[in-house]
Amino acid sequence: MKNLNPLAAEAFGTFWLVFGGCGSAVLAAGFPALGIGFVGVSLAFGLTVLTMAFAIGHISGCHLNPAVTIGLWAGGRFPGRDIAGYIVAQVLGAVVASALLYLIASGKMDGSFTGGVASNGFGEHSPGGYSLRSAFIIEVVLTAGFLFVIMGATHGNAPKGFAPIAIGLCLTLIHLISIPVTNTSVNPARSTGPALIEGGIALHQLWLFWLAPILGGIIGGAGYKWLSPLRD
């Protein structure tokens, strides 16, 4: 890719998603009396995508997610030659955001910070104690649904100008469903940043949060292409 602007946009956009979404979970979800809870965190993730879709959608397409990039390729919407560059940029943005969140959260004067930056997990690392099987299924299904909505909302025959709203609300819904199961990934880059910072079990379980979302992305992208073969 000769033009680096889309890669820079993807890096910043993914930074925004992780810093805003995971930041709401780490800094605001459990704050005494005024904590935003699961609903607030879900909304925060949706808002990061909605705002970035308007800000950089015309530059890079606002994927912010390796599963979205690969899913759009499977759906015939993205060239295979640009996949690697997009994924590297997305992961870098997620890692920088996670590192900054760690620096901020570790500054609590009461020493209550445990070192977590909203990593994903299953089994003992699942917020609700859900198994590997449950985590795998929900990550595949929800990522497939996410790609289905993205493909439909950005189709040439879809209502103009509303795609960011539909996609942002879809991500909010996804988090409302699955935070108790995996802390919600549907995004390998979003999972990689916190896992690299936390290490330990988060890093050991990271493989699932690459495999399941990418599989789901391919299913969603290819499935929508089959359902709606009309020219985009």
Tell me the pLDDT tens digit for each residue of 87-141: 999 999 999 999 999 999 998 867 677 778 999 999 999 999 999 999 999 999 9
* 7-16, 96-105, 155-164, 223-232: range with lowest mean pLDDT: 223-232
Is the per-residue pLDDT at 1 higher than 90? Answer: no
- CA angle at residue 128 from 187 to 185, to 5 degrees? 0
The pLDDT of 18-42, averaged and rounded, is 88
Contact 86, 63 (CB under 8 A): yes
* 19-33, 56-70, 147-161, 201-215: range with lowest mean pLDDT: 19-33
10 dihedral zone (left: phi>0; alpha: psi -120 to 50; beta): alpha
Candidates 171, 230, 219, 210; CA nearest to 75 is 219
pTM of the model: 0.94
Task: Take residue 22 and report the two structure tokens written for it.
Answer: 């995971």
Contact 182, 142 (CB under 8 A): no
Whole-number Å distance between alpha carbons of 72 and 81: 13
- CA angle at residue 189 from 8 to 32, to 5 degrees? 105
30 Cβ contact partners less than 8 Å away, ≥ 6 residues apart: none
Percent of the chain with pLDDT over 70: 95
Count of CB atoms situated within 10 Å of the CB of 178: 24
pLDDT classification of 152: cutoffs 50, 70, 90: very high
* 41-50, 61-70, 111-120: range with lowest mean pLDDT: 111-120
Percent of the chain with pLDDT over 90: 85
**Domains of the chain in sequence order:** 6-227 (1.20.1080.10)
Average pLDDT, the chain: 94
Q: How far is CA 97 from CA 22, 35, 86, 193, in A?
A: 9, 21, 17, 7
Residue 4, SS3 per DSSP: coil
pLDDT of residue 35: 81
